Structure formats: C-alpha cells, structure tokens
Amino acid sequence: MVLVIGHRGARCCAPENTIPSFRLALETGVDGVEMDVHMTRDGEVVVIHDDTLERTTTGSGYVKDHTLRELKGLDAGVKFGSQWRGVKIPTLEEVLRELGSRVSYVIELKHGSDLDPALKGEASGVGSRYRRLRRCLGSLGVGSATSLSLNTAVTSTQALRGRLSTL
C-alpha cells in the first residue's frame, strides 16, 4: 500500500508547518502529514522545521531560546507571501486539535538537541490524548506502526527503520 504524506503540510502552496498548510494538504486528499517540532525555552512543543527563526518567520535566533509567547508574536506566513500575513507558529497540540482524527501523523523531533528527551516525553504526552495517533506512519517507506512515530532526525532508511522498530 502506498500512502501519501503532506511533507510539512502543503508547503508548495502555503507556509510550511502551519495550520493553513496542513489544512490545504488535507484538502488535496493526503493520508497523513509530516511535521517537525522543537521545544521552546518555557517547555512548549512548537511545529517548525528549522532550529532558527529567520528563514520562515519575522523573528531571529534559535527556537529554543524563545518562549511560546514570544514565538506567537512572530509572523510565520508573510515570508511565503503577503496573503499569508498573520499566520502563527502552531503548537503541536494546536495542530493535533485542528486536524484531529482525519489524518495520520509523522512527527519529527529536530536536531537531536539536549532537549530531545524532554521533547519526546512532551510530544508523547500530547499525542496520547489523540486516538488516531495509534496509526502513525514511518517515512521512507517504513509503513505504519501502532504508536506515535517520534523520530529524531536521521539520515538513512536503515537508521530510521531501526528507530521505529524500538518504539
């Protein structure tokens, strides 16, 4: 079986890793969405690809050095186009609440930072509150699993398969 995953949502057509991008991906009929998460200075899990803010937001510096409140004050859409002005960096919980059980999730913990153990625990806690997360997808053709797929960034299919088999 082939599954179609919206990588960072519909990043070709909307600001990546944002609720509008995930909504648009769902409208195109994807089976699941892939997203990247980082932890903020105050322990919140936010959905953003880069460990720094410059490429996709109006902010600067590392995500981990900012509080959720500070990050919510940034614009995560305007760099994609003026029609996206005002789009915010979502929390993992906001995305899961918005998309609910309509989709499967692939959630990547970024950059193996010293926050990874806390981030994995926090993301798992959020994920356990959403039923459909039991059907999670591994990327690179690994297939489906029975628990939330929380992967640190890996560079090869072999490494990813090894990680998923231990979850």
* Catalytic center residues: 7, 49
The structure tokens listed for 89 are 């960096």
The answer to whether residues 57 and 74 touch, using CB atoms and an 8 Å cutoff, is yes
Cα-based angle 116, 119, 121 (whole degrees, multiple of 5):
110
Length of the chain measured in residues: 167
Distances (CA, A) of 29 to 23, 56, 132, 137: 10, 25, 17, 16
Helical packing angle, 92-99 and 116-127, nearest 10°: 20
134 Cβ contact list (under 8 Å, min separation 6): 146, 147, 148
The answer to whether residues 154 and 161 touch, using CB atoms and an 8 Å cutoff, is no
